Amino acid sequence: MAHTHSIPSLDEQFEFTAESKRRLTIGIIAGVVLVGIGAYLAAKGGGGHEHVEAAHGAAGHAAHGEAAHAAAGGHHEYKWTTRLWANVWVNSVYFTGAAVIGMFFIAYNYLAQAGWSAVFKRIPEALPAFLPITGVIMLITFFVAGHDLFHWTHEGLYEVGGPEYDPIIAGKKGFLNTPFFVGRMIFYFVAWYALWRIVRKFSLDEDLEGGTEYYEKSIKYSTAFLVVFAVTSSTSAWDLIMSIDTHWFSTMFGWYTLASWHVTGLAIITLVVVSLREKGYLKAVNESHLHDLGKFMFAFSIFWAYVWFAQFMLIYYANLPEETIYYRERFSGYGGIYKAPFFINIFLCFVFPFLVLMTRDAKRTPIILKVACWGILVGHYFDFYTNIMPGTVGEHGGFGPIEFGMILIFACAFIWSVSAQLAKANLIPKNHPMLEESLHHDI
């Protein structure tokens, strides 16, 4: 009821306690230990295998290359470290998306001049601070392990008449070459981060000085971000994920990754809002805000499924071998190890949120929202896992200490970054011009 609101105090300072820092540190250490154990096991177990592979490679390199092209996108010798770097890459892509969607959410809410989201806007605003971390990690990974993860980085593919010459990949050289690729990567992260810093500064200054000037300026820079993101969300998806399976391409892929990132980001925003509310913060967030966040997740889970299916069905129907190989690899390739992640992904990202979040009551009940958020977050990990792993580690993939440890490291670091940002400012943007509307949000 709109007329019986009692608006609680707007002064809320989030405290990033020493206890939380201690827990996150333990989490990161546990993650490192797990990765260490996994790496040790992989190095010990993978050594013999590497021998066989190397001998096989020496025996008939050209033939092996051909077979690998058909199956894995053509990797030469498998090294156990590849799995380590592939895991770094999966998590980097996942958390890059989670971070940049914070800015995306802020930007489209400014552009639409939305009022309802003002009260919790500090939460999406806190996410993009993680971008430099994943950006640097990805660049390092590319320079250290680029050859293991990205087949197109091999020089021999472009030598006309050479034993490894691949006319299809050579035809993509104008786009897929190291200088342009690295330049694009730097541009993405710098542009996203810089625009976020500007809008974030406006937001913090607005808290101190008030007025509508910062709001107007934020709309301009948000629009600029959306223009940049409209292009870079697609191109980054091609670069960071699709180029792993170099031969294959899908025109839906940019949208598909944006949908994955977006719904992941929405689930994180919702989860943080609900958790903060449970801890006694964000008292001004009412059931209507939760309802709208729930609708957002519900809608974009369906959108993700729509894009997923649009990509799948055209390939399924046209039945061209060079396209269906992508789904073959995931569905039945490599001894079928990717079949489970493939279906878990569809279940957790579409079926589960679709059924759980369908009713009005579900979207207004914090515990159900939390369950749906976790389903979506885990589901989209499998999304990036099934996109990245088959093309990088192929039959050597799986779920072991490396996977769980790496998730733990990245998740704890991400929570740390978000908490540190939340502690930097009042949790409610006191002087946001739309705050009054948001406080009375009633649907």
Partner 1 sequence: MSHHNDSAKFLVGVYDDDEVVLKAVTEVKSAGVRIHEVYTPFPIHGLDVALGHPRTRIGIAAFLFGLTGFLTMVSLTYYTMGYDWPMIIGGKDNYAYPAYIPVMFELTVLFTALGMVGTFLVSNGLGPTVKPLMFDLRSTDNKFVMAIDLSKNKQSEVEIASVLRASGAAEVNVKQF
Residues making contact with partner 1 (CB under 8 A) = 1-4, 309, 312-313, 316-317, 319, 358-360, 442
Question: Please, where are the H alpha helices in 210-335?
Answer: 213-240, 253-278, 287-318, 321-331
Amino acid identity at 73: G
Q: Which residue type sits at 124?
A: P
d(Cα 394, Cα 337) in Å, to the nearest integer? Answer: 9
How far, in Å, CA of 179 to CA of 297, rounded? 38
In angstroms, the first-to-last Cα distance of the chain is: 9
Residue 236 CB, shortest distance to partner 1, in Å, is: 29
Between helix 287-318 and helix 253-278 the angle, nearest 10°, is 160
What DSSP string describes 315-336?
HHHH--HHHHHHHHHHHTSGGG
Output 284 or 388, the one with its CB closest to partner 1. Answer: 284
Name the amino acid, one letter, at 118: A
CB 100, min distance to partner 1, A: 30
Q: Which is nearer to partner 1, 182 or 368 (CB)?
A: 368
Closer residue to partner 1 in complex, CB, 249/327: 327
* Distance in angstroms (rounded) separating the CA atoms of residues 373 and 12: 25
Instruction: Tell me whether residue 51 or residue 360 sits nearer to partner 1 (CB atom).
Output: 360
Shortest Å, Cβ 371 to partner 1:
20
Please say which residue, 2 or 62, places its beta carbon nearer to partner 1. Answer: 2
Q: How far is the CB of 317 from partner 1 (least distance, A)?
A: 6
Question: Exposure string (b/e) for 382-396, b if CB count within 10 Å is 16 or more?
Answer: bbbbbbbbbbbbbeb
With beta carbons less than 8 A apart as the criterion, state whether 372 and 357 touch.
yes
Nearer to partner 1, 303 or 309 (CB): 309
